[in-house]
Amino acid sequence: MSEPAVRISNVTKRFDATVAVRDLSLVVPTGSVYGLLGPNGAGKTTTIRMMLDIIGPDSGTISIFGRPHLDPSVLDKIGYLPEERGLYKKMQVRRVLRFLAELKGVPPKEADKRINRWLDRLGLITDEKDWGNAKIDELSRGMQQKVQFIGTLVHEPDLVILDEPFSGLDPINSQALKDTVLELKRDGKTVIFSTHLMDNAERLCDSVCIIAHGEKVLDGEVAAVKESRGTRSVALSIDGDARDGVRGVLQDRRLVARADDQNRFFEIELATGADPQELLNRLIASGARIRRFELVSPSLHQIFLERVGAQGVELGMSGHA
Amino acid sequence: MRKMFVVFKREYLERVRSKWFLVATILGPVFLGLITVLPIALASKTKSSDQLSNVIIIDATGSDLGSRVQQSLAATTPQAPVPQLRAVKAEHVAAAERRATTDVMGHEALGYMVLDANTTAGKEMRYAGRNATALIDVDNIERIVRQSLLAQRLEREGIDASRVAALTAVKLNAKTEKITDKGKEGASGIASFFFGYGIALVLYMMIAIYGQSIMRGVLEEKTTRVAEVVVSSVKPDTLLAGKILGSGLVAVTQVTAWLAMTFLMYQARGPILQKFGVPAIASASLKIPSVAPLVGVALLLFFVLGFILYAALFGAVGAMVSNQEDVQQAATPVMLLLITSLIFMQPILLNPSNTLAKVMSWMPFSAPLMMPLRMALIAIPWYEIVGALLSVAVGCWIAIWLSARIYRVGLLMYGKKPSMRELGRWIQRA
């Protein structure tokens, strides 16, 4: 197997009194789509910035494609889309993109060719207008995001790092982004993205790492992570208004450890030793019309809530911030 | 190096392409030309008021001094009314003055003068009028009264009246030349005064304008959040260096364009000055002081080092704050350093070789302005120039070191303006 795209070993980063990242280790396999998951303030952005050497770790090492991340040649292989996006407002689109491409070592002529291809592909060159010659601040927000995205990919990076890429995207652009991520994967590129939206992560990622309070909670391939939790979860859908009766059943702690109520859909984690058959009987007895009752692997969302929630409690009890 | 060049190229091209640059580059020499030409045009054009003789003479001397002044004054401006002579007794001067004041207020005369015993004694005369602040008018009136008094005295000594007129008609102007250690310079003392002043002022303007434009550029990169994208490709230090050099070259480009245009205007100074009504003789006397090549190199070095020093500091200020409201306040200490030099410019112009001047031309933050100023005024030993250059270079190095650290941390820091203590922590942390 080839070198992992990113290997982070025992990295710690402090900002004055607070620890942003504590003893974090993770491996991103080359050619995978990797999700960095965690609540706001978990240390995702700090971790990403350390990979890009925007800030340096206090201790620990980071290597990218087998080379120390401080190696100047490494940066040119990475495409980065920061969470807070922005471009030079008064500059022409083409000039901004050429600048970003040249910073990554793409020769100007080659850059121009690629920029035109991208502008055309994303609909920024139309019959009536070539937006490439417009200034950034003449563009709509959606168009600016497209330009930013071109800027991330124009130098054809082997590793693409996207920080909260789905925030602020409408469903259409969101879908376009997912398609692009999969396309990058098909081309053998590695994609790392951070998000707190578990649904996106579960569908897109090959592997994930969940971090909270700067520490790793768990990591690994999505399938393996879910498998390790066993099939102690039930997916339940109901029809009609029998919600009160159902809720009564779900509050029985002998049967149900946790229930995630999404109105007409419940994700239920069974209590230890509970028999799903008994739960089903109780639900039928409560008068609910059941559309779906299925033993499933827990969703990432469920795992996330379970692990991060539990850790939050632990931290609260031990008195550490 | 390659990345710095990319940053440098963007910085340079985007600034040179801006409309502001074009306007300033064209209007600069026009403005400079105007401030060079105007003093000359004014000097040759500035005549005293053409109504100079339209005054009231209150004569309490009991002699013919009043009528002598009346005649001389009337001759200066033949087209204006002849002065009204009012001979009064000494005790009635106050009343006469009151009446004359009312007349002036009623626009019947431009002003009035009082000639009394003090005047005859050669001590003083008094003048009050609408043109009392016009130095040249007052100067002329003084001269006429002085000459009239002199003529009166000479005639009393028995010298013939016509001879007196010939003898006292003395018009004397001082033509000045500057002598340095190298001997006489062609240009006049006034010219080298303006030259020194001009150089220091242009350096100041360039540093203030382009230094602050770097500050705004850095702040813009912060507020638009483009900074994070850029520093994911290039180290902050390289980014800062590229920005400073890019803007610096823009400044050099602008000054070069200005010099070229000024040179052309100088070549065509005769016709241009004639448009302003300056006679050819006066325009021939306008000489640009010659600059020795070595002095030119020293000037350029002072400019480059001074620019880098201030640009680095302004860049750090831009990285320190997160919004337009805070930036002016945060820039105040840097501006104060720069303005200090400007404040001391006047005293140093008047006395370029005293201790204050020497100290100011050795301090890293004021030397880039003060040393060129002194160099234009007096001859400075080479070791002082080299020493000052070294001092600026050291100051430059410290400024870059500090700024790079503040810049590195500040570029991705958002929120309120850091206190001095927080700033210290940034410098340590980077």
* Same-domain status, A89 and A75: yes
| Contact between A160 and A189 (Cβ < 8 Å) | yes
Please tell me if residue A105 touches chain B, with a CB cutoff of 8 Å. Answer: yes
**Mean pLDDT taken over chain A:** 85
Per-residue pLDDT at B281: 54
Question: Please, which residues bridge with residue B217 across strands?
Answer: none
Q: Is residue A16 part of a domain?
A: yes
CATH number at residue A122: 3.40.50.300
Mean pLDDT of the region A163-176? 85
pLDDT at residue number B372: 83
Q: Is A210 within 8 Å of A38 (Cβ atoms)?
A: yes
Same domain, A209 and A87: yes
Residues A58 and A78 in one domain: yes
CA count, 13 A, side-chain hemisphere, B124: 2
Same domain, A281 and A244: yes
The Cα diameter of chain A in Å comes to: 73
Cα distances (Å, whole numbers) of residue A202 to A197, A237, A292, A302, B21: 9, 20, 21, 11, 53
In a domain, A75, yes or no: yes
pLDDT score recorded for residue A313: 42
**What would the mean pLDDT of A6-21 be, rounded to a whole number?**
88
Note whether A214 and A190 are same-domain residues: yes
* Torsion (CA) B371, B372, B374, B375 in degrees, nearest 10: 110
Asked if A16 and B220 come within 8 Å (Cβ–Cβ), the reply is no
- Is residue B400 over pLDDT 80? yes
Q: Which of B209, B200, B248, B210 is nearest to B361 (CA)?
A: B200
Query: Is the pLDDT at B394 greater than 90, yes or no?
Result: yes
Mean pLDDT (whole number) for A57-83? 89
A85 to chain B, any CB pair closer than 8 A? The answer is yes
Is residue A193 domain-shared with residue A245, that is, in the same domain? no
- Is residue A99 assigned to a domain? yes
Say yes or no to pLDDT of B36 above 70: no
Q: State the nearest Cα–Cα gap between B353 and chain A, in angstroms.
A: 48
Check CB contact under 8 Å for A104 and B231: no
Q: Which of the listed residues A192, A226, A260 is the one where a domain comes to its end?
A: A226
CATH numbers and ranges of domains, chain B: 2-43+184-429 (no CATH), 55-168 (3.40.50)
| A218: phi then psi, degrees, rounded to nearest 5 | -160, 160
For residue B365, give the 3-state DSSP assignment: coil
Q: In terms of Cα–Cα distance, which of A259, A281, A209 is closest to A51?
A: A209
Whether residue A43 is predicted with pLDDT greater than 50 in this model: the reply is: yes
pLDDT at position A185: 93
Mutate to test the interface with A, among B232, B414, B427 (most CBs of A within 10 A): B232
In a domain, A181, yes or no: yes
Residue B314, pLDDT score: 92
Q: Do A82 and B231 touch (CB under 8 A)?
A: no
Share of chain B above pLDDT 70, in %: 85
A312 in a structural domain: no
Shortest distance, CA A86 to any CA of chain B (angstroms):
5
* Residues A291 and A153 placed together within one structural domain of the fold: no
Residue of A nearest to B414 (CA): A84
* CB contact (8 A) between residue B229 and residue A88: no
Partners of A91 on chain B (C-beta within 8 Å) are: 14
Residue A180 shares a structural domain with residue A291: no
- Give the residue from chain A lying closest to B412, CA to CA: A54
Global pTM?
Answer: 0.73
**Which of B6, B226, B232 is facing A88, going by the closest CB pair?**
B226
Mean pLDDT of B257-285: 69
The top-scoring range by mean pLDDT among A162-166, B296-300, B414-418 is A162-166
Examine residue A123 and state whether it is found in any structural domain, yes or no. Answer: yes
Structural domain span for residue A183: 6-226
* Dihedral angle computed from the Cα positions of residues A43, B408, A51 and A312, in that order, rounded to the nearest 10 degrees: -10
Q: Which of A164, A199, A226 is the C-terminal boundary of a domain?
A: A226
Between A277 and B167, name the one with better pLDDT: A277
Higher pLDDT, B419 or A93: A93
CA distance A189 to chain B (A): 19
CATH code of the domain in which A253 resides: 3.30.70.100
State the Cα–Cα distance between residues A133 and A151, nearest whole angstrom.
15
Query: Of A226, A251, A279, which one is at a domain's C-terminal end?
Result: A226
HSE at residue B328, side-chain half, CA atoms within 13 A, is: 2
Same domain, A139 and A282: no
Asked if pLDDT for residue B53 goes beyond 70, the answer is yes
Number of domains forming the structure of chain A: 2
Residues A21 and A149 grouped into a single domain: yes
pLDDT of residue A315: 44
**One domain for residues A140 and A84:** yes
Q: Is A318 a domain residue? A: no
Please state which of the ranges A16-20, A238-242, A259-263, B274-278 shows the lowest mean pLDDT.
B274-278
Nearest to A92 by CA among A46, A138, A59, A55: A138
Does A55 lie at the interface with B, CB-CB under 8 angstroms? yes
| Confidence band of A319 (pLDDT split at 50, 70, 90) | very low
Asked if residue A282 and residue A189 are part of one domain, the reply reads no
Residue B143's Cβ-count burial label (10 Å; 0-12, 13-18, 19+) is middle
Instruction: Answer yes or no: do B3 and A103 touch at CB < 8 A.
Output: yes
Is A247 inside a domain boundary? yes
